Structures are given as structure tokens and as C-alpha cells.
């Protein structure tokens, strides 16, 4: 050692050191990737969060009843039912959409024929002094003289929402109501002519 020569590393030390450094670098990289993954949520996670926080589309205020349940539509307790109805069928959504586009006009036309005395006698929602009525609508397909017609049974939303049982079952069970005046009605629509052939409030 006293001859001034530079000490040499034992054989295999330098390659071993390089291997250790490579492993350390790999571990550091993995940690960085893991931290980055936590800090930056994946696209799938962001999509799931967006779906969870986005508002859900409003449910329509109408439903189509089964043929079996529709039979009860024609047994109201306080209004006239069109005569000659027999047999049942299930309307498709497109048919209901057509009725819906014309229903408001039919309601307004029918209201114009109701006397002031009957209007005052109808129960009212105290929160709506203007007596504006919004209805839940139940649809069923009926047959008269071999022709397919659509019957709509409606009841004011304020009456249904105020009853726990009705609000829970109205999409599948016929709404039962008696003597609610303009807060309930039954109407018969003819898809062939594109118009209503009968309309009766709960009097």
C-alpha cells in the first residue's frame, strides 16, 4: 500500500452498487406513481362521481297500468263512465305522448263548462289560491265497438302527495277518490281521430 498505487475495489462491488441504485430508483418511481394516482383520480372514478352528483331526470306524472289493473279504472265512485267499453289492451309510449300533448287543452275546455257553484264546491289546495290543479295521470287501453281507445284517470297531485299509501302506489294501482270535483277526472281518447270523445270531472 506504501508504493502509491490506488486501492482497487474488490471484484463485483461496483456492479453490485449499480444494481442497488437501480432498485432504489425503481422504488422511488413506483412511490411517485402511487402518489400521483392518489392525487389524480382515474377517469373512471371521476365519471362515477359526476354521475352520483348530477341531478336525476324528473319522473313523468303519468303511468300506464297493466290490463288487469285497468279494469278498475271503469269503476269510479262519483263520476259517469263512458258506455260500451269492453276488453283491454296496453298502449305504447308513443300513443300516450300524443294524448299528453292534447290533455291540457281538453282540461281547460272542460273547466270552462263547470258552473261557478261547482267550482267553489270542489276541495282546493290551500297552497294554490289560483286553483291551478296539476294531476297524476293513469292510462289504460279499452275497446269499444272493436276500436282501441285510451282511457285516462287523473287525480290532483296535492291529494296524492298528501296520502302516504297513494303516493307510494299510484304508478301501479288505480287511484281511488270520490267527489273531488275538478281535482279528479276521467277522459276517453280516440287515437284514430286524434281527439277526446268523453271527459268527466268527479261530480
Q: What is the DSSP string of 15-82?
A: HHHHHHHHHHHHHHHHHHHHHHHHHS--HHHHHHHHHHHSPPPPPPSEEE--HHHHGGGG--SSS---
Cβ proximity of 124 and 159 under 8 Å: no
pLDDT of residue 142: 96
Q: Is the pLDDT of residue 51 over 70?
A: no
Between residues 1 and 199, the one the model is more confident about? 199
pLDDT of residue 31: 45
Cβ proximity of 142 and 88 under 8 Å: yes
Instruction: Report the chain's terminal Cα–Cα distance, integer Å.
Output: 120
In angstroms, the Cα distances linking 96 to 70, 188, 198 are 15, 12, 16
**Measured distance CA(139)–CA(161) in Å, rounded:** 19
Q: Is the pLDDT of residue 203 over 60?
A: yes
Q: Is the pLDDT of residue 158 over 90?
A: yes
**Measured distance CA(200)–CA(106) in Å, rounded:** 11
pTM over 0.75? The answer is no
**Measured distance CA(34)–CA(24) in Å, rounded:** 15
Per-residue pLDDT band at 175 (split at 50, 70, 90)? very high
Per-residue pLDDT band at 138 (split at 50, 70, 90)? very high
Question: In whole numbers, what is the pLDDT of the chain averaged over residues?
Answer: 80
Which range among 9-23, 48-62, 96-110, 172-186 has the greatest average pLDDT? 96-110
pLDDT of residue 90: 95
**Measured distance CA(121)–CA(137) in Å, rounded:** 23
In this prediction, what percent of the chain has a pLDDT beyond 70?
68
Amino acid at each position: 500500500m506504501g508504493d502509491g498505487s490506488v486501492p482497487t475495489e474488490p471484484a463485483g462491488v461496483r456492479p453490485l452498487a449499480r444494481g442497488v441504485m437501480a432498485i432504489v430508483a425503481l422504488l422511488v418511481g413506483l412511490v411517485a406513481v402511487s402518489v400521483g394516482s392518489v392525487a389524480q383520480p382515474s377517469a373512471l372514478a371521476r365519471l362515477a362521481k359526476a354521475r352520483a352528483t348530477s341531478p336525476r331526470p324528473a319522473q313523468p306524472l303519468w303511468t300506464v297500468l297493466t290490463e288487469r289493473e285497468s279494469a278498475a279504472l271503469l269503476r269510479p265512485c262519483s263520476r259517469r263512465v263512458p258506455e260500451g267499453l269492453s276488453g283491454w289492451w296496453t298502449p305504447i309510449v308513443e300513443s300516450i305522448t300524443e294524448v299528453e300533448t292534447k290533455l291540457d287543452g281538453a282540461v281547460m275546455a272542460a273547466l270552462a263548462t263547470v258552473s261557478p257553484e261547482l267550482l267553489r264546491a270542489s276541495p282546493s289546495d290551500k297552497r294554490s289560491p289560483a286553483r291551478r290543479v296539476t294531476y297524476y295521470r293513469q292510462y289504460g287501453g279499452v275497446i269499444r265497438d272493436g276500436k282501441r281507445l285510451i282511457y285516462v284517470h287523473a287525480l290532483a297531485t296535492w291529494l296524492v302527495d298528501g296520502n302516504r299509501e297513494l303516493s307510494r302506489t299510484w304508478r301501479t294501482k288505480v287511484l281511488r277518490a270520490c267527489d273531488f270535483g275538478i281535482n279528479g277526472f276521467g277522459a276517453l281518447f280516440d287515437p284514430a281521430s286524434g281527439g277526446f270523445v268523453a271527459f268527466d270531472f268527479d261530480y
